Every structure is written in C-alpha cells, then in structure tokens.
Amino acid sequence: MSKEKSVLDELELNHSDAEDIGEDHISTSVQTPLRDDAFELSDDEKIEEIQEHFYHIMHALGLDMEDQSLKGTPYRVAKMYVKEIFKGLNPENKPDARKFGNKYDYEDLVVVKNINVTSFCEHHFLPFIGKAHIGYRSGKDVIGLSKINRIVDYYARRPQVQERLTLQIAEELQGALESEDVAVYIESKHLCVSTRGIKDRESTTVTTNYRGSFKQKETQQRFIDYIHTDAEM
C-alpha cells in the first residue's frame, strides 16, 4: 500500500484537477508523452507486468479471479494493450512510408477517404472510433496508397487525443512526401463522451489540419467536396 501511495504522491494531481483535465481533453504536446526508458522492457516483459497490475484492478473491483471465465482476462487485456490497441507506441511497428517517383506526371490532388480510425482517449482509456480523410498534392514524388492507411493506423494505435492524432499524421505525411501540401480531416465518436459524463451518444468530433496549398480556399474546398461525395463502387 505504501508503494502505491508513493506513486500517487508523485503524480501531484488532486482528484478535481484530474477530472477537469479529462473533461477538457487537455493535451500537452504534439508528441506522445513517453519516458526515456519507454522501450527498455520487451513486449513480453510489458505483457507480464500489465497482466499482474490488471489482475489487481479486477480484484479491487471485487471480481472472483478464480472464476474460469475471468482467470485469463488479465493476460488477454495485457496482450491486447501491447500487441494490438497500443502497438503504435512501439517505433518498430512504424510503417515504411517510402515515396516513389511520379513517372506519370500526375500533378493534382490525391485523396484517400473513409480510412477507419480506432484509437483510445488517453484521459479515460475508452475508444474513439471514426474516419480519417487524407489529401496531398502530387508533385515529383507520390506515396503508396496503402501506406497512408498504415500511417493513420500506426498513430491511432496509442493513447491519444484526437487533435494530436491529426497533427501527427500530417507531420508524418509532410515528412514522407517532403511536401507541405497535405491535409488531414478526422471525424470520430468518443465513447468517453457517449458512455460516461454527459452521455451524449449522438455528437461527433471533427479535427482538421491543412498545410501548404490546402490552406488556399479553393483547394481546401475541393478536398472537402471530395470527402463528402458518395461514389458507387
């Protein structure tokens, strides 16, 4: 108990402040806050440690951890955290966003829309789920279309704030393309809003980041029009 108490003391955050930050969705940086020793443990070691802690969470809730249905839950949750929903924390999982020469001289907008987004709000560890729409202006180089989906998924698979997610995707695309002409538009539904607090099941959150030529009204409007155009497939 004394060890747990010292950890809470280190946080230097009272319950009221913690609630306010969570409700206001405050973010402190464009970069995901990681410790310097974030990657010293292997995935297997992280799973083992999380498994033990989650066992204690379930035990504190009063659950019978000898029940056959619950025995494996701490391991399943730990493996899910490390290998699936938070795998974007591990830089080894970062997709290789190689670009290719634009040999066909296409010099207009490339828009990939309706990319599935599944991420977890870092304030309550509840999911937010929606769609990302990505645009860039083709120049001397282009990027593989599937790589755009992988970039979105990589940055989504970590505890996140939607605003940060939007900026991280834009930063990665800009760096990969060596071009400022990128646009990111994300619309999602936050379960921390729909299942707790205000319990609003209908609202969605939209975040955008327009860079380079996408700041121009005409280009930005074309991008938005493409997003909202339904095409028969």
Q: Which residues of 80-97 are buried (b: 16+ CB within 10 A; e: fewer)?
A: ebbeebbbbbbeeeebeb
Task: Name the active-site residue from 51, 121, 160, 174.
Answer: 121
Task: Name the active-site residue from 48, 163, 192, 202.
Answer: 192
Determine whether 124 is an active site residue: yes
Task: Name the active-site residue from 51, 123, 172, 174.
Answer: 123
- Helix residue ranges, H only, the chain: 2-11, 15-24, 43-60, 73-80, 145-156, 162-177, 191-194, 217-227
Determine whether 52 is an active site residue: no
How many Å apart are CA 91 and CA 169, to the nearest integer? 15
How many Å apart are CA 47 and CA 43, to the nearest integer? 6
Determine whether 4 is an active site residue: no
Beta-strand pair 109-121/159-160: parallel
Task: Name the active-site residue from 23, 25, 48, 122.
Answer: 122
Task: Name the active-site residue from 51, 160, 162, 168.
Answer: 162
DSSP state of 190: E
Determine whether 25 is an active site residue: no
> Which position has the token pair 């083992």?
48
List active site positions: 121-124, 162, 190, 192
